[in-house]
Chain A
Amino acid sequence: MSTRLYPAFKNGNSKLHVFLPDFWMKLVKPSHNLLPNQVQFVVSPQMTKLDVKQYLEKIYNVPVIHVNTFNKMGKTKTVPNQYITKEPDEKIAFVTLHKDHKFVFPDIFAKGDEELNEQSKSTKASKEQYAQKTKLNVSKQGVPTWFSH
């Protein structure tokens, strides 16, 4: 359950207890339509299905019925005749909760649009101000505003 080094497991040994688990999990907006009791995660690539289950049950107190994982390769992108870049690989986990439980992905940018609108409003106002200022000099373009004659 962590990226640290542990002694190799041999039959008969006691289970290794990880007191400071190190893995991360990201709750992601689902890539396609899922059932209401399903959640999509991007998890750290060393994690197994059992790890995902234990992680959610013990740390987040979320009961899990089933876990499915797969590795998704990062896309390669080419800049023609120059170089190739590759995005990092991801492990994706689909977690199903009990059929009675439901999870809806929240709207994270609810206020963000308002802020953007405010920004656009302020830019509009400043543009109008600028237009009013420059309107005086239509007949004599290129002349500074303080020039009265």
Chain B
Amino acid sequence: MVQSGKFSIGAALFVSTLKKISLTNSQESNYFQTCTNTSNKRFRFLGSFFFWRHLNLLSKKKKKGKKKKPFFRPANSTSIHMTSFKSSNLMQFFDDPKNFGASEVKSGRSWTVDELRIKSNIDLQKLWFVLLKERNMLLTMEYNCREACYLFPSPERIDKIQDSMTRLEQVIHERNDAYWQLEIGEEAPKPRAEKTLDPTDPLAAIREPMEAVTQVKDRATLKFQYLIKEKERKLKLKQKRLHEREAAMLLKYFPNMDKEALQAKYPDVNVEKLKFVQRTRGSHEFNTA
């Protein structure tokens, strides 16, 4: 495992060093315990200790004649020797050369939930990486096709992959939920935060990308912000005018109505002022006189 960073991929299947460790049942359920795991701090600094030893700074003896430069090497340089590089490794990002330039690529169906429920956790993890690679391949092909102004053949493959990935996640969450309810007596925490747009805000869908660019003071973004604010302002004004018109019409046809109730219904309209506006004057006798 690389000793830097908070996260690391737990792909035990793809790391040669971890092959020796036999996956027992306790490790299998390790995924479920990620939330509750705690261990000592000292293991995190082991990597840095060995790193210093490489630098030869700890040795006290110093030769006067020749000064050796410290042999600097990145902390995880061993990976270069461990893994043998082939260009085919990066060619996994591309489709089969048979399908280059094809107008249609035939594919099977996606995985169903029932099929996935039978599988063990290890099998599911293997399948996940197969699906992940497939998705990366499809996304690269789609991107490069779009850049070169070509049609991407049979784009429904991406949807199929996405479906089977969400189903796999669903199955994993079911198992996690069962584990939590057995051991802790609560529902398992949801893996993703659910985003809900504000239903009262008509510009909620646009506001999110707008907030992303607020830090940037580019000419284009400033213009974008200015225009979106203008749009918002206009929408508000339009709504206010509509309310005013409605209130005026009500006053025109029912001049003896309860003014306070009207004010309560349209809080953004000044009813006192509206009484003296010309359009509220109906053709009643007491008005015409």
Q: Which residues of A contact B (CB under 8 A)?
A: 1, 3-7, 9, 11-21, 24-29, 39, 42, 48, 50-51, 53-55, 57-65, 73, 76, 84, 86, 89, 97-98, 101-104, 106-115
Contact = CB atoms under 8 A, between A and B. Distances in A.
A9 B35 CA distance: 10
Given A51-B7, A58-B14, A59-B9, A12 B38 contact: yes
Nearest to A21: B9
Nearest to B4: A50
A106 B80 contact: no
B38 A106 contact: no
A111 B2 CA distance: 42
A36 to B, nearest CB: 11
Contacts of A20: 125, 128, 168-169, 172
B289 interface: no
A9 to B, nearest CB: 5
Given A12-B38, A104-B87, A108-B100, 5 more contacts: A14-B43, A18-B7, A58-B15, A60-B92, A62-B89
Overall SS of chain A's interface: loop
Interface size, B (range): 35 or more
Given A25-B136, A111-B101, A114-B101, A19 B31 contact: yes
19 contacts: A5-B191, A9-B6, A12-B41, A26-B93, A27-B90, A28-B147, A29-B144, A58-B9, A62-B85, A63-B85, A76-B223, A86-B209, A97-B85, A102-B87, A103-B90, A106-B94, A107-B100, A108-B101, A109-B100
Contacts of B193: 5
Contacts of B129: 59
- 3 closest cross-chain pairs (CB), A and B: A112-B101, A111-B101, A17-B10
Interface in B60-94: 74, 79-80, 82-83, 85, 87, 89-94
Contacts of B11: 19, 21, 58-59
A44 to B, nearest CB: 10
B220 interface: yes
Contact of B148 (A60, A63, A97, A109): A109
Nearest to A9: B6
A107 to B, nearest CB: 7
B140 A103 contact: no
B250 interface: no
Contacts of B5: 48, 50-51, 54
B233 interface: no
B122 to A, nearest CB: 10
A14 B30 CA distance: 12
A116 to B, nearest CB: 9
A13 B120 CA distance: 28
B190 A5 contact: yes
Contact of A3 (B94, B143, B192): B192
Interface string B126-157: 00110011011001110111011010000000
A15 B143 contact: no
A18 B8 contact: yes
Contacts of A110: 100-101
A16 B118 CA distance: 27
B278 interface: no
B50 to A, nearest CB: 17
B227 interface: yes
Given A28-B143, A112-B101, A57 B83 contact: yes
A107 B74 CA distance: 34
Contacts of A11: 41
